[in-house]
């Protein structure tokens, strides 16, 4: 454990008291033995205090680490380490409130991996998992820094894009779609070409918008993208 240095004043006081103790104190004065006793107690108390502070600090750091780890586990998707469903919904809710307050648009993009069931069926779940992880990396690297991405469940992902109007959101979705489609995903079963379809919903400044209506709108757009042939963005 690192040395505690917050007791410099007390250390100094102890050194001074010990200096006085080392000089000759009158032996037959009651206060002198009382003083000596006090110095001994003070020395011990200071030593104990430093030990207790050190141990308390260590325990508190340990608790903070445990709390951080628990929070991470509670908010992340275990496979992809993206935000999990409840965390990204929480973020969406907060961003809706913020965009209402600041009167700024907010877009939601729902993406779904095309024919993902086939990947699992043909190559097995381990390959499927590897594909989801690679897609997650590409999603993370292609969004803007203030966008948030989460795994909504299965092969469905959500991007929350604050301040993003409809056109910008479609453009963002298009960029993400291209990053997924332009290079195959390299797996233990060889390179697999993977594409995704995206549905975009934008909340302008209508006060009626809520989490459910935004998700419903993005979902409807996603199904349109699927119907129109997949590997595309519908807004």
48 lies in the site for another protein, by CB under 8 A: yes
Report whether 180 contacts 195 (CB < 8 A).
Answer: yes
Closer residue to another protein (CB): 33 or 61: 61
Candidate list 8, 62, 155, 189, residue with the active-site label: 155
**Smallest separation, CB 62 to another protein (Å):** 4
59 lies in the site for another protein, by CB under 8 A: yes
CB contact set of 11 (below 8 Å; sequence gap of 6+)? 46
45 lies in the site for another protein, by CB under 8 A: no
CA dihedral 193, 129, 146, 170 (to 10 degrees): 40
47 lies in the site for another protein, by CB under 8 A: yes
Indicate if 155 belongs to the active site.
Answer: yes
54 lies in the site for another protein, by CB under 8 A: yes
Which span sits near another protein by CB under 8 A: 17-25, 55-63, 70-78, 161-169? Answer: 55-63
C-alpha distance across the termini of the chain, in Å: 57
CB contact set of 92 (below 8 Å; sequence gap of 6+)? 108, 158, 160, 211, 214, 215
Which span sits near another protein by CB under 8 A: 54-62, 113-121, 142-150, 164-172? Answer: 54-62
**Smallest separation, CB 56 to another protein (Å):** 5
**Smallest separation, CB 58 to another protein (Å):** 5
Q: Which of 94, 114, 110 is nearest to 102 (CA)?
A: 94
**Smallest separation, CB 159 to another protein (Å):** 37
Q: Which of 61, 73, 86, 183 binds another protein (CB under 8 A)?
A: 61
Which span sits near another protein by CB under 8 A: 50-58, 135-143, 189-197, 199-207? Answer: 50-58
Report whether 77 contacts 150 (CB < 8 A).
Answer: yes
Write out the two tokens for 14: 């102890």
Q: Which of 31, 40, 43, 51 binds another protein (CB under 8 A)?
A: 51
1 lies in the site for another protein, by CB under 8 A: yes
**Smallest separation, CB 66 to another protein (Å):** 9
Residues that bind another protein (CB under 8 A): 1, 47-48, 51-52, 54-56, 58-59, 61-63
Active site residues: 155
């Amino acid at each position: 454990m690192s040395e505690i240095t917050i007791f410099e004043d007390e250390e100094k006081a102890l050194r001074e008291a010990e200096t006085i103790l080392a000089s000759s104190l009158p032996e037959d004065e009651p206060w002198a033995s009382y003083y000596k006793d006090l110095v001994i107690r003070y020395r011990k108390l200071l030593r104990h205090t430093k030990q207790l502070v050190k141990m308390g600090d260590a325990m508190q750091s340990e608790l903070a680490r445990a709390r951080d780890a628990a929070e991470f586990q509670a908010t992340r998707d275990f496979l992809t380490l993206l935000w999990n469903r409840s965390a990204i919904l929480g973020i969406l809710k907060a961003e809706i409130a913020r965009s209402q307050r600041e009167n700024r648009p907010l877009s939601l993009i729902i993406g779904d991996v095309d024919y993902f069931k086939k990947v699992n069926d043909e190559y097995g779940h381990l390959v499927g998992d590897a594909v989801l992880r690679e897609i997650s990396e590409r999603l993370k690297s292609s969004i803007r820094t203030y966008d948030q991405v989460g795994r909504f469940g299965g092969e469905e992902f959500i991007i929350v894009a604050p301040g993003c109007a409809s056109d910008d959101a479609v453009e963002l979705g298009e960029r993400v779609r291209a990053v997924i489609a332009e290079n195959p995903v390299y797996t233990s079963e060889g390179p697999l070409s993977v594409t995704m379809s995206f549905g975009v919903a934008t909340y302008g400044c209508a006060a009626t918008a809520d989490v459910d209506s935004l998700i419903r709108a993005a979902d409807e757009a996603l199904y349109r993208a699927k119907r129109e042939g997949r590997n595309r963005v519908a807004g």
